Amino acid sequence: PLTEKQLQELADTLDLDNSDIEDDLLTRDNDELADTLDLDNSDIEDDLLTRDNDELADTLDLDNSDIEDDLLTRDNDVDEELELEQDLEQEILPPEDDGFDSEDDVPLSHFVPARSKKWMRKAFIPPNPPNPVNYSDSLKNPLEYFEKYISNDFFASVSTLTNMREVSVTGHSLETSATEIKKLFGCTMLIGIYALPRLRMFWAQNTRVPIVSDNITRNRFFKLRSRLKVVDDNMISAEEKSHDRFWKVRPLLDSIQRGCRMNERSPMVSIDEQMIPFAGQVLMKQFVRGKPNPVGLKNFVMTTPTGIPLDFYLYEGKGSSVESALLATPEKLDVGGRMVLKLTDTLPLGVFVFTDRYFTSIPLIDFLFSRKVFLAGTIMANRIPKNAGISSDNDLKKKKRGSYDQLVRDDGKISLVKWFDNKPVNLASSCMGVEPEGSCRRWSKSERKYIDIKQPAIVKNYNAFMGGVDLLDRVIGKYSMRNRTNKWTIRTIFHFIDFSVAAGWLEYRENAKAAGLPRKEIMDFLDFKLSIAKSLILENQGEDDMEFEAEDDEQPGSKRRSVQPIPDKRCRRQGNIHLMEFMKDKQKSRSKCRLPNCNKLTFAKCKACAWKEIVLQLSINNFPFRLFQSFWNRWNLEYFHSLQERSKWKFKKNNPSLLGSLVLLKEEAVQPLHWPMARIIAVYGVLVTTVQCE
């Protein structure tokens, strides 16, 4: 252990006094804190000033350039509003993609204007109506009306492309021609007119139609129909295929569309949907509730009030772009509104367009108004601006039938009309209102009689000019070529062939009325379509431009004679109407016996069935002959064998005395047939013979 002296020396050496240690600790803490914070007074003041300036600048964001840009933007907005008020045309910038590709995905707020305008109950001043169109009074051949839409070049192109396709697939050509393609379409038209339950019945023995079966065989018809091509697949790029889902039938659509755009533009047009019935698998298939054929391909058509088509557009389905050629795709319009803008590109200024509730909206009316095209149509209740304040359904229902309410926007461009008939109807228009007010007849259940009720002018005009597309649909569906097929291309081709025929007849009817023809002299649609079908079939009938060189061709060089079917038992049992008739030239007119399992020849036929060319089973060369009518079908042939054995009648061959008229007995006359047969034979003149062919 250290001594006391050693401890004292150690304390002096270390010099660790308590006061010194405390002072040292305080000094070290202050220095370290100052170094760590580095909070000099000048630095703190500079930092506070910098922070205040940055926060103030970020908050206000009032840079001189920003202020100038904001003022310019406001001036431009004011100028655009003034131009809209002065009815000047203005450029509409294309909006960004909002992601709405289907009418079902568009929210209802898209149909209500962003800046609501005031609506007032006042009179609507309509624009001046356009001048009516005068149709030509010169009549043409039905085939010429059809060739306006489908020319001869189309048939030549189809024949070439069909042969090319068959060579590329099988290595053998179909050797078809434009004449045969015309026959194919002509026979297809006749098939639509006759409308037998099954397609093969047109070539069957019992139900054959000569004008069809005599011009094209069954196998040839089905082969050509299944291999039709209207476009060369190798000439279509992948980009074109991705942008156009109807590229397989595009040449046909373009040809018919050119014909539609050549028609006279009526001052009143209507736009509506048309369905092409098709139940197969295809990406473009749509479902439209309420249509006679709700499933199929959707076609938007613009027609005159009399049904003459002016333009059309096949809807490709969700994701397709529908853009107008005159205006950029406007914002806040669904597929129906965009389709109206596209179809009206070919219309002149001042035309009145009629649409139904699927298309009509306030933004659409404004966009068309900027192009000097006016629109009128029914409108959905949820597309009416909320600030309009139109009368409710219950308010109009409390009033008498025929009551209405009209609101006009403060700029005077659009009128809203609600009319109560059996139920309320909402209409919007930029070309007509309730004046001049008319009347219509309705049946009153309470009074049990017809009464006259008030009818606004917009309702009367809508009913008069809106039915053009429906009229065209009715004409197409009257004798349409709706044969079952799994190919949407074939279904589309046949539909537009009917489309062209119907369009030609509607135009012919207007020309006939302009020429002053009486109604009974105007050709109806059936005769019109028959004329076109026969013209396509019989055109160039004498020219044989088809050479079948393929060894496996199904159509032989010599045409096989068609065999008429045997009449049914009821027809063969009609008694004594069946008389035997001998052919004049026995050698050239000999035909095969029609009795099953008999290969003998005969030159006699039944006189009653001669219109069917039914040859009786008579073997006159080797008499006795065979009977094949009601007398022998009513009783078993074995009975007459036994009867012959009992009577011991033997007829010698080639006995001229036995030749004569054959009269078959009625059933009631034959029933009492018994021995002796001589009396029955004498009365009815029946010649009983053996039943074996020799």
What digits encode the pLDDT tens for the residues 336-349?
999 999 999 999 99
* Residue predicted with more confidence, 606 or 524: 524
Q: Is residue 610 very low, low, confident or very high in pLDDT (cuts 50, 70, 90)?
A: very low
Q: Check if the beta carbon of residue 407 is closer than 8 Å to that of residue 388.
A: yes
Predicted confidence (pLDDT) per residue in 35-84, tens digit:
544 444 444 445 444 444 454 444 434 344 443 444 334 444 434 443 43
Burial class (CB in 10 A: 0-12, 13-18, 19+), 678: exposed
Residue 618 confidence (pLDDT) above 60:
no
Predicted confidence (pLDDT) per residue in 496-547, tens digit:
999 999 999 999 999 999 999 999 999 999 999 999 999 999 876 644 444 3
- As a whole number of angstroms, the longest Cα–Cα distance in the chain is 185
* Residue predicted with more confidence, 226 or 583: 226
Short-list 133, 127, 183, 174, CA closest to 155: 183
| Residue in the structure block whose two tokens are 């309702």 | 459
Predicted confidence (pLDDT) per residue in 546-577, tens digit:
433 433 444 444 555 656 666 666 666 655 56
Q: What is the C-alpha separation between 408 and 410, in angstroms, rounded? A: 6
Q: Is residue 87 very low, low, confident or very high in pLDDT (cuts 50, 70, 90)?
A: very low
Average pLDDT, the chain: 74
State the pLDDT at residue 588: 64
Predicted confidence (pLDDT) per residue in 674-689, tens digit:
333 333 333 333 333 3
The residue-averaged pLDDT of 212-232 equals 93
State the pLDDT at residue 137: 84
State the pLDDT at residue 601: 76
State the pLDDT at residue 403: 92
Contacts within 8 Å (CB) and 24+ apart, 611-619: 612/564, 612/565, 612/567, 613/564, 614/564, 614/566, 614/567, 615/591, 616/580, 617/593, 617/693, 618/580, 619/593, 619/693, 619/694
Residue 224 confidence (pLDDT) above 80:
yes
Q: State the amino acid at position 686 in one-letter form.
A: V
Task: For 373-414, give the DSSP string.
Answer: -EEEEE--GGGS-GGG-PPPHHHHHHS-TT-EEEEEETTSS-
* Residue predicted with more confidence, 269 or 23: 269
The residue-averaged pLDDT of 312-323 equals 86
State the pLDDT at residue 501: 97
Q: What is the C-alpha separation between 543 and 453, in angstroms, rounded? A: 66
Q: Check if the beta carbon of residue 205 is closer than 8 Å to that of residue 571.
A: no
Predicted confidence (pLDDT) per residue in 595-604, tens digit:
667 777 776 7
Q: What is the C-alpha separation between 165 and 229, in angstroms, rounded? A: 7
Q: Check if the beta carbon of residue 333 is closer than 8 Å to that of residue 81.
A: no
State the pLDDT at residue 541: 60
Residue 585 confidence (pLDDT) above 80:
no
CA 670 from centroid of its chain's CA atoms: 61
- Is the overall model pTM greater than 0.75, yes or no? no
Q: What is the C-alpha separation between 533 and 182, in angstroms, rounded? A: 9
Residue 288 confidence (pLDDT) above 70:
yes
Residue 378 sits at φ, ψ, to 5 deg, of: -70, 155
Q: 587: which 2 tokens? A: 């050698």
Predicted confidence (pLDDT) per residue in 382-426, tens digit:
999 988 889 998 999 888 889 999 999 999 899 999 999 989 999
Q: What is the C-alpha separation between 369 and 166, in angstroms, rounded? A: 52
Query: What percent of the chain shows pLDDT beyond 90?
Result: 45
Residue 590 confidence (pLDDT) above 60:
yes
Q: Is residue 446 very low, low, confident or very high in pLDDT (cuts 50, 70, 90)?
A: confident
State the pLDDT at residue 466: 94
Q: Is residue 591 very low, low, confident or very high in pLDDT (cuts 50, 70, 90)?
A: confident
Residue 651 confidence (pLDDT) above 90:
no
* Residue predicted with more confidence, 361 or 687: 361
Phi-psi region of 171 (alpha: psi -120 to 50; beta: other; left: phi over 0): left
